[in-house]
Amino acid sequence: MRWEAKIITHKKEKRIAVYFEKNAELIVRIKKLTGSRWSQTLGVWHLPDTVENRERFHLAPPSYSLPSEDGIEQIEKFKQILRSKRYSENTVTTYSEALKSFLVFYREKAVAEITNEDVIVYNNEYILKNNLSASYQNQIVNAIKLFFQTIRETKMIVDKIHRPKNAKTLPNVLSKEEVKLILNAHSNIKHKMMLSLIYSCGLRCGELLALRPVHIDSKRNIVLLKNSKGKKDRITPLSPKILEMLREYYVLFKPTTYLFEGANPGEPYSEKSLQSVLKQALKKIGITKPVTLHWLRHSFATHLLESGTDLRYIQELLGHQSSKTTEIYTHVSTKSIQQIKSPFDDL
């Protein structure tokens, strides 16, 4: 069944027109899509121009215009303020892009005239209309709040900007058997070493890639994590088995600046390549779950909890500011749950 889709303007509204030879099955399917309509004049089925529909019909995402000149100037000032506060460049980019999306929506309105009501309209008319996630909405809210805290002349009351209700999602955790299969999947010691260190120390991806040889303290059996998330240093225990592997790895690869370097000596291994290492491991052992590197960190925390480690220590090891963040692992630990007898067994 062949079809073609393109963006059209119909009755002063952008729509996605879907062209195909008359086919009963396709007509039934397109009728089920929200907002689908048949145009007798154009002789075509058409749908709302949303991000979801563009993805469904393999169309490029909408090309949004730039904010107003005032908006562009304010975004640049915002970036400078974030940098002066020592925010990471990744955070500067994330927040400024989120703010840009908001100011593009209000490009016809002076920044100083934007109100709390405008944030609600933006959430309803852009975020919800395009089926964007609550986490993305929360990111936008963070950027808006931080931005308007730095603007002197404004009608915005920052404390009254509301956040979306957080979804109660649980962290994804692997069993110890699955972790073992993943860590042993690679014969390449470098690949095995990187995945093993993430799990054994509960590291974030960026923390692993920022490690330098001097951060491995073999005498005290600790790993020093410098300038981690939130600009904080912390330490994590170094497993004796990991230390043995590291010594073997060091002899073979002789890293200079970073513990794990890419093709060019002195440059860190790339995040994309590290993700590829995990994907290759999953393929080799036949695990089809959508496992990410962060699952290894989640599994580290959960397995520690199940083995009886105090939650406060786990919080320190993970570098969590709030104990509430760490407490989520109590909901995925199976140690106590597995001991509960189902009433079904007594029927």
Residues designated catalytic: 204, 229, 294, 297, 320, 329
Report the distance separating Cα 304 and Cα 311, nearest Å: 9
- Number of Cβ within 10 Å of residue 106's Cβ equals 18
Cβ-proximal residues to 2 (8 Å cutoff; 6+ apart), any chain: 20, 21
In the chain, at which residue ranges do the beta strands (DSSP E only) sit?
A: 3-10, 13-20, 37-39, 44-48, 216-217, 222-228, 232-237
CB 315 within 8 Å of CB 287? no
- Number of Cβ within 10 Å of residue 314's Cβ equals 20
Report the distance separating Cα 18 and Cα 30, nearest Å: 9
Cβ-proximal residues to 49 (8 Å cutoff; 6+ apart), any chain: 7, 13, 14, 15, 16, 62
Q: Nearest-CA neighbor of 228 among 207, 198, 212, 209?
A: 207
- Name beta bridge partners: 261: 268
- Name beta bridge partners: 5: 18
